[in-house]
Structure 1
Amino acid sequence: MYKPCRVLLLTPDAGLIRAVSDTGLEPWALRRTGAGAPGGIPPERTLTTDDPARTLRDLAADEDAGHGIDFVVSGGDTEPAVLDALRGLALGPGRTGPWLPDRAELREILGWGPVPGPAPAGVEPAPVCQVDTVSVSGMHLLLGIAWPESRQPMGESEQAGVRETVRCLLDLIGHQFGGTRTDVALTPTGPDPVGIAGTSVLVSSLGPGTKR
């Protein structure tokens, strides 16, 4: 019987819930006893605990008792103790954080040559939008696109092009886990990524083989 991949959200805001669901994953929530129930996630998929940090460590230590949770995702606005526990799970012994190229490295990867100098006088640089994503085992979930005030999207096809450009870039650099913000220039010939940086979104795998 098919079981969708289950993602435990520690900061279950509406955008993150929607991004998880749109990708075909099953959102779950973890909340502290006495806190309000998260909106958008049914009670049967909500884990309630007095000690969220310990619960995370217990889930990672015993996958057979982990409610079938495969991944944990959190923004940077949760409890410090919970973030510390999640960082430990996300990295683990001998592992390092994701590598993201700086602008010069990104241009080299894309075969664009050195970083160009200032635009010539009278030439307006292309407007840039910012695309926020979170990657879960190589699946890139779109959290949102911030369009520049001077340049709103020209239709669904352009929005789809920006999304696909970012996902292809993340695949190209082998990004597997964690949040990113990608700057995409809206040029006359199509969207071009011009920068990428990590965000405070953390992701940990609790699937088979991740016991600590």
Structure 2
Amino acid sequence: GDDWIINGQKIWTSGAHYSDYGILITRTDPTVPKHKGLTMFFLDMKSPGVEVRPIKQANGNSDFNEVYFSNVRIPDSQRLGAVGDGWNVSLTTLMNERMSIGANVATGFPELFDYCSSLTLDGAPALDDRAVRSKLANWAVKASGLRYTSFRSISALSKGQRPGPENSIGKLVAGSMIQEVAMYALDLQGAAGVLSGPEDAEVAGKFQAMLLRSPATRVEGGTDEILRNIIAE
């Protein structure tokens, strides 16, 4: 009839365990090259045959999921774009995803600056230490660059343009930066950095949680390697 029957599995679907709807790219023609033969749909996540399994992360949370599709029926009215044109549709969704991640991902810099402002090293304020100031200055420049790159992207959107590679720059830089910032904060904490419980750790374990979550930022919405390819091309 007018239904499509979907079988397959997807790992790392953000928020699938509380989402009412999802978008799904499928291979509808296996006889053509990779980027051809793809078709995009939206679907009700409560549809029969959809199974969501949350993934336990290193930081104890479950933001991502595995999703299994077993003979899931999707009406053709829920197709997004033309049959076989799913790659073009997915480019739009991916660029917007990278924009939302790149524009909003925390860098950890404001938290680190606040922490260093009240920290004492060897009996003197941490901000008096030339090495600390140098690190903070480097990250301040990066944070400013991210901010203005995001503004550039928003300006393009306001003119009706599709989000471009600037969003890949934002996510690539912010993803590695939050990891570096968290590791530096734990270095400053010394032996106390191994404590991760909010009740025991300095700053309620903020930087420990940041470090455990940071690898995910470098994978979600495109890995560092994918983003570098996009920027280069």
TM over 0.5: no
Structure ranking higher on relative contact order (CA contacts 8 Å, 6+ apart): 1
Q: Which has the higher helix share?
A: 2
Q: Which has the higher strand share?
A: 1
TM-score calculated relative to the size of structure 2: 0.28
Q: Which has the larger radius of gyration?
A: 2
